[in-house]
Amino acid sequence: MKIIDSKSDLGFKKVFAERPHLLMSLLNNLLPLSNPIVSLEYLSPELTPDQEDGKNTIVDVRCTDTQNRHFIVEMQISKQAGFVKRVITNMTKVYSRQLSKVDPYILAQPVYSLNLLDHALSNIENKWYHHYTLTEREFHDDYIDELNLIMIELPKWRKLNTFDLQKPKDRWLMYLSDPNMFSKFLTEKELARYNEISEAIEVLETKNFTPEQIRGYELYIDNMRSYVTNMSEARREGIEQGMEDGIRKGKEEGRVQLIDDTISILDDLENKTLSTTQIAEKYNVDLRFVERLSKSIDKG
């Protein structure tokens, strides 16, 4: 193991929670900013609840820039129930706590929440970048950009395979997806030209971590593999159970439908307004079945 996973909690925070110039580059290239960030200051990643019985949250990275804009950055490896609601809650906490009790509301500045997902968020196959704001439902050009929620689906971006190494945005997305990929396209000398990416990869080298951190990282990897395996098995069992339930329900519904159709066929045969061929076509059943029913009526 030469470098650790850039998406891991240990690796992600080592790069972006300790090196502001790398975080600034990431934000400037991945966020839809009208003015770039020129300097930033780290803030506590802990977001305490407004009330004693509320929920306490710790995000991966939180900072503000010289324009007093606030930024929250999170790497999300696996799906979590209520994830989007948690993100929105954190955004509104940050927005509402900018001002003291005597500050006018006009001083409040935008909040950007950048969420890097290693899983699918939506069913839209080619849509991997999502930017949500407060938007007027009928006129989408009418929006309020005080709260900006950005979701990036890394697996979809990788699947499209249209990245361009000349674009800083694509370099960061490749780094977040798999920093080992750079060695497949670039020599060490070529990689050195991209000093920010080169530095971010170097930070991930195992020599930069203590033995305790590496053991914790290995445990994290084992837990993630177990989680993925368990989820896959649960999904397989769920599909199999669903198929069994569907077949059983289908048979039950089929029996009920057959009984209803048989009664209706008998009524049509007794009325003698349709031929057996017409009745078979009407109910989409075998002609021989209708003829047997007709004979049973005649015998009766």
Q: Are residues 124 and 46 in the same domain?
A: yes
In a domain, 225, yes or no: no
Residue 235 has a pLDDT of: 58
**Full domain range(s) for residue 157:** 9-209
Q: Are residues 157 and 273 in the same domain?
A: no
Q: Are residues 202 and 281 in the same domain?
A: no
Are 59 and 45 spatial neighbours (Cβ–Cβ below 8 Å)?
yes
In a domain, 200, yes or no: yes
pLDDT tens digits, residue range 257-280? Answer: 777 788 888 888 888 888 888 888
Say which residue, 250 or 148, is predicted with more confidence.
148
In a domain, 245, yes or no: no
Range in 49-53, 54-58, 123-127 with the lowest mean pLDDT: 49-53
- Residue 73 confidence class, pLDDT cut points 50, 70, 90: very high
Residue 81 has a pLDDT of: 84
Q: Are residues 194 and 280 in the same domain?
A: no
DSSP 8-state class, residue 205: B
Say which residue, 274 or 172, is predicted with more confidence.
172
In a domain, 217, yes or no: no
Q: Where are the alpha helices (DSSP H) in the chain?
A: 9-16, 20-30, 83-96, 154-160, 168-177, 182-185, 188-192, 195-203, 211-271, 276-283, 287-299
Average confidence score pLDDT of the chain:
87
Residue 269 has a pLDDT of: 83
Q: Are residues 155 and 288 in the same domain?
A: no
Residue 283 has a pLDDT of: 84
Q: Are residues 28 and 166 in the same domain?
A: yes
In a domain, 277, yes or no: yes
Q: Are residues 143 and 255 in the same domain?
A: no
Residue 217 has pLDDT above 80, yes or no: yes
In a domain, 262, yes or no: yes
Q: Are residues 94 and 202 in the same domain?
A: yes
Instruction: Give residue for tokens 């891991």.
Output: 8
Residue 161 has pLDDT above 60, yes or no: yes
Q: Are residues 194 and 281 in the same domain?
A: no
User: Three-state SS for 6?
Assistant: coil
Neighbours of 64 (CB within 10 A): 19
**How many domains would you assign to the chain?**
2
Q: Are residues 183 and 270 in the same domain?
A: no
Range in 28-32, 175-179, 236-240 with the lowest mean pLDDT: 236-240
Q: Are residues 139 and 263 in the same domain?
A: no
Residue 198 has a pLDDT of: 95
Q: Are residues 205 and 261 in the same domain?
A: no
In a domain, 55, yes or no: yes
Residue 65 has a pLDDT of: 97
